[in-house]
Amino acid sequence: MSSTIAIDRASGERRGRDQHREHPVLHLIVELVTLRCRRRLVWIAQLHDTTGVSIDDPEREYLFYAKHEQLAATNARVSELEDRLAKTEDPFSEFARLFRLDSNEFDLLLACVAVELEPAIGALYAQLNGHPERRYVTQACAARLFGHGHRQLWNPSGSLAIWGFIHALNVGPGHAVPLIVDPQVVARIRGQLGLDLELVGCTEIIPVQRPLEGWPLADLHERTRRSVNAELPLRLVLVGPQGCGRRSLAASLAQRFGASAIAIDTDDITDEHWPETYVRVVRFAAMAGLIPVWHGQRCGRRWPRSVPPGPLQFVICEDARSVSDLPGVVDQVVVMPTPALDERLGLWHRLVPSSVAWGEGAVEHLAARHRLSVGDIAQIGQRLPVGADEAALMAREQTRGRLGDLGRLMDCPFDWSDLILASGLRNSLEDFTFEAAERVRFWETPGAKRLFPRGTGLVGLLAGPPGTGKTMAAQVIAAELELDLFRINLATVISKYIGETAKNLDRIFARAARMNAVLLFDEADALFSKRTEVKDSHDRHANTDTNYLLQLVEEYQGIALLASNKKNNIDPAFVRRIRYIFDFRKPDAAQRRTIWRRVLRELVGADILREVEPAVAVLCEAVEISGAQIKNAVLAAVFISRRRRRTLGIEDLMDGIDRELGKEGRGLHDRERERLRRNA
C-alpha cells in the first residue's frame, strides 16, 4: 500500500460536468460481471450434469471455457470489456489508481460495485452462492468469478477494509461473509458524490476569499508542489490568532492546486469516534478532490496511523506545540503574518464600505491605531458602524475579552491636565505617548526592520513610591492613545508550581498580541525580580521563568507599562532593555497645593475651596503626603463633614489627613493642628 494518496485535481470539475449523465463504464461493469456470472453458471451446470458431484476445480474450469464452443462469443466479449476497462480513463479505474488498489482488490471491488449498479446481478450471485437469499458477493464467489481460483481476495487489514470501501457483515459462524460496498464508493463512480453523512456537522467547505498581499502564497505553493511531486506527505501548520486568515490562506493555497479546502472541527469529534472520523475525512477528501483543514482544541490527540495520509493537510492553531506529531508526515510551521498598515487600510475600505464617507485621515488613523486581523475588520463591517468613532469603539470591544481572567479592564477618565508632575517627567511621558501613536508606520520602513528585527514593541517602567501618579499616568497614556488599559492580575500569573508562571506569562503575551490595548504590570518587581544564585531546583526554575519573561518582553510588539515601588529589585537585564524609565517622586509643596485645590474643587466646589484656601496653603507646606493620599484625605473629609451635618471645614480635613497618615503610623502634631485652625 502506498504511503500517500494523490491530489485528485480534476474530480470536482468533472463531477460537475457529468452529474446529469452516467459514464459508459457503468454499463461496461454491469455487462462484464453479468457475463462472468453466466459463464460460471454454465460451468457449474455442466459440472452437475456430467458427474453429479460438485468438484469445482479452477484449472478444469479454465480449460472448459477455452474449449466450449458456445462460450467463444462470451469469452471474446469478456476480453474486450476487460481490455476497454484497462485502457479507458473512467471513474472506476481512476478510483482504483487514486487509492493504489492492486489487481485482487480491483476485482473484488468490481464485483461489489456491479450489484449496486444493477441489483438484478444479485440473483446471479444467489445462484453462484447456492442459496436464493445470498444475493451478495462473498470472498469465494468473487475469487472464482474473476479467475483467482482459491486465492484469498478479501483482507481484513487490506486497503479495501481500512478505508471502509467494503464492509464485511457478521452473519454468524458457518456462513460465508457478505461483502458490501460502501455507498460513497458507488456515488463517487457515478459522479454523484456528496458529503459523507458521518461528517455532517463537523465539516464545511471553506470559501475562497481574496488573499492578502503579505501572505507567502507563492513560496508555499512552490514548496508544497515539490513535496507533492516527490510523494512526501506534508502538513502545513498555520499558526496565528483567530480571525487572522488561516482558513482563507489554506483555501487560497488549495485553489492553486485546483482543489477546495474542507474544514474539520476537531472539537465536534469525540475520542470514541476520532479514528473512524479521521479515516472518513481523509477518504472523502481524496475522493472529492479536497484538502483537509483541521482546527479546534483537539488537534493534540494522537493522529490515527491506520490509513496513509493525503499528500497535503492543514492544521490551524494558535500554538504549534499543541499539535501532536503524525509519523511519516513532514510538518512545516507557518506563522501568519500581521497585516501591514497599508493592508489594514485596504481591508477597512473593502470590508467596511461605509468607511469611504469617513475621510481618508480617519480611516488611516483607525488602521494605524488598531492592529486588527482581517477577521476582526470583517466583523466590524458586519456591525455597520456609522462613523469612525463608533468603529474605533467596536475595534476596542472586538478584542477586550481575549485576556480573560488574566487582566482587568481599567477605566481611563483622566487626561494630561490631571497629572501634576515635574516638567521633565511630564515631557518624557508625552514622548512615550507620541512614539506609541506614531510607531506603526515607522516600524514598517526597511531600515527599521533591518536594525530592529525583534524589538518593535514599546515598554516603559513607571518607578516610584506609592501614590505618586504611576497608575494615573498609565490611564492618561491609554486614554490619549484611545486604547484600552488592562491591569495584569499577578494572582493569576505567579504560581508556586514549577513552570506554571512561564505558561501563564506565555498566555498573557500571546493573547495581548491579538488585542488593541496597553498592558499595565502593577507591582512589576514581583514578576521582573532579579535572578538569584542557584542553590536548589526552585531557584533554577525561578531563573528560567525570569529568562523566559525577558524573552517575551523583548519579542512583544505591543505597548506595556511596568509599575513598581521597588525599582532596585527589578532585574538589571530588564532595565537595560527598557527604553523609557520614568522616576516618580512625591510632590513638592507647589505640586501638593495644586493637587489639593483640584481635588477640593472637583469634590466640594469652588465656594468651599475659597473658604479653606488659607488652610490649604499651610497644609501643602506642613504635611508631606502623596497625591493619592491627598485624594483619599479629601474623600474621607467629605463623608466626615456629611456625617456631622455641616459644610466641610478645616477640622474635617485634618481628620481626613489623620486617617491617611495613620496608615503609616503617624499623624498631625498638635502644633500643626493649631496652626491650621488659625489660618482657617
Q: What is the pLDDT of residue 15?
A: 47
Pairwise CA distance, residues 549 & 562, whole Å: 13
* Domain end point (choices 568, 583, 598): 583
pLDDT(539) > 70? no
CATH number at residue 233: 3.40.50.300
* pLDDT tens-digit series, residues 159-218: 999 999 999 998 877 788 999 999 999 999 999 999 999 999 999 999 999 999 999 999
| CB distance 100 to 2 below 8 Å | yes
Measure the CA–CA gap between 205 and 200, rounded to whole angstroms. 11
- CA gap 511, 513 in Å, rounded: 5
Q: Once rounded to an integer, what is the mean pLDDT over residues 601-628?
A: 92
Give the pLDDT score at 525: 78
- Residue 270's pLDDT is 96
Residues composing the chain: 680
Dihedral angle at the C-alpha atoms of 664, 667, 672, 678, nearest 10 degrees? Answer: 120
Comparison of pLDDT for 451 and 384, the residue scoring more: 384
Confidence class of residue 526 from pLDDT cuts 50, 70 and 90? Answer: confident
Do 121 and 237 have their domain in common?
no
Chain segment 393-412, per-residue pLDDT in tens: 999 998 888 888 889 999 99
The CA distance from 561 to 563, in Å, is: 6
Q: What is the pLDDT of residue 3?
A: 44
Domain end marker among 289, 317, 335: 335
Given the C-alpha cell 523583548, which residue does it identify?
554
pLDDT of residue 543: 58
The DSSP symbol for 529 reads B
The percentage of residues in the chain with a pLDDT greater than 90, rounded to a whole number, is 68
Rounding to the nearest 10 degrees, give the CA dihedral for residues 68, 74, 75, 76: 130
The residue with greater pLDDT, 556 or 255, is 255
Residue 483: how many CB atoms within 10 A of its CB? 23
Q: Which residues contact 195 (CB under 8 A, 6 or more apart)?
A: 203, 284
Residue 315 φ then ψ, to 5°: -130, 125
Reply yes or no on whether the pLDDT at 480 is more than 60.
Answer: yes
Q: Is the pLDDT of residue 380 over 90?
A: yes
Look at residue 607 and tell me if it is in a domain: yes
Residues 263, 211 within the same domain:
yes
Q: Are residues 52 and 160 in the same domain?
A: yes
The total number of structural domains that make up the chain? 4
State the average pLDDT over residues 503-514.
84
Please check whether residue 251 is in contact with residue 207, taking contact to mean a CB–CB distance below 8 angstroms: yes
Same domain, 431 and 559: yes
DSSP state of 301: S
545 and 484 housed in the same domain:
yes
User: Same structural domain for residues 420 and 481?
Assistant: yes
Phi and psi angles of residue 125, each rounded to the nearest 5 degrees, phi first = -65, -40
> Which distant-in-sequence residues (6+ apart) come within 8 Å of 149 by Cβ?
58, 59, 143
Name which residue leads in pLDDT, 576 or 156.
156
Q: How confident is the model at residue 579 (pLDDT cuts 50, 70, 90)?
A: confident
Quick check: is 12 in a domain? no
The residues, any chain, with a CB within 8 Å of residue 505's CB and separated by 6 or more, are 493, 527, 545, 548, 549, 552
If pLDDT is split at 50, 70 and 90, which confidence band does 54 have?
Answer: low
User: In this structure, is residue 625 part of a structural domain?
Assistant: yes
Cα–Cα dist 259/10, whole Å: 8
CA dist list (Å): 4 to 100, 166, 308, 311, 634: 9, 20, 5, 6, 76
Task: Tell me if 354 is assigned to some domain.
Answer: no
Gap between the Cα atoms of 370 and 393, Å rounded: 10
Q: What residues make up the domain containing 184?
A: 20-190
- Predicted local confidence at residue 496, as pLDDT: 61
In a shared domain, residues 165 and 33: yes
Q: Residue 215 in contact with residue 247, Cβ under 8 Å?
A: no
The mean-pLDDT minimum among 291-305, 342-356, 443-457, 644-658 falls in 443-457
Burial 575-603 (b: 16+ CB within 10 A, else e): eeebebebebebbeeebbbebbbbbbeee
Condensed to tens digits (0 to 9), the pLDDT of residues 236-258 reads 999 998 899 999 999 999 999 99
Confirm whether 130 is domain-assigned. yes
**DSSP-derived secondary structure for 112-124:** HHHHHH-TTHHHH
Question: Quick one: 37 and 132 in the same domain?
Answer: yes
Position 91 in a domain = yes
pLDDT at 574: 77
Please tell me the distance from the alpha carbon of residue 176 to that of residue 180, in angstroms, as a whole number: 13
In terms of domains, do 203 and 183 share one? Answer: no
Same domain? 185 vs 205: no
Question: What is the share, in percent, of the chain residues with pLDDT greater than 70?
Answer: 92
Torsion angle (degrees, nearest 10) of CA 155, 156, 162, 167: 100
- Which of 296-305, 337-346, 665-674 is predicted least confidently? 665-674
How high is the pLDDT of residue 290?
Answer: 96
Q: In what order do the strands lie in the sheet with 330-335?
A: 203-205, 260-265, 290-295, 312-317, 234-239, 330-335
Residue 240 lies in a domain: yes
Report if residue 357 sits inside a domain.
no
Mean pLDDT across the chain, nearest whole number? 89
**Domain final residue pick, 583, 603, 620:** 583
Closest CA to 309 of 276, 273, 274, 285: 285
User: Is pLDDT at 678 greater than 90 in this prediction?
Assistant: no
The band of 234, judged by pLDDT with boundaries at 50, 70 and 90, is very high
How many angstroms separate the CA atoms of 166 and 180, rounded? 5
Distances (CA, A) of 364 to 310, 347, 378, 440, 640: 44, 11, 16, 11, 51
Q: How far is CA 662 from CA 40, 615, 659, 665, in A?
A: 108, 21, 5, 5
Q: Verify that 157 and 28 share a domain, yes or no.
A: yes
166-168 and 260-265 strand pairing: unpaired
The whole-angstrom separation of Cα 504 and Cα 510 is: 10
Cα separation of 521 and 498, whole Å? 21
634/653 same-domain check:
yes
d(CA 151, CA 426): 91
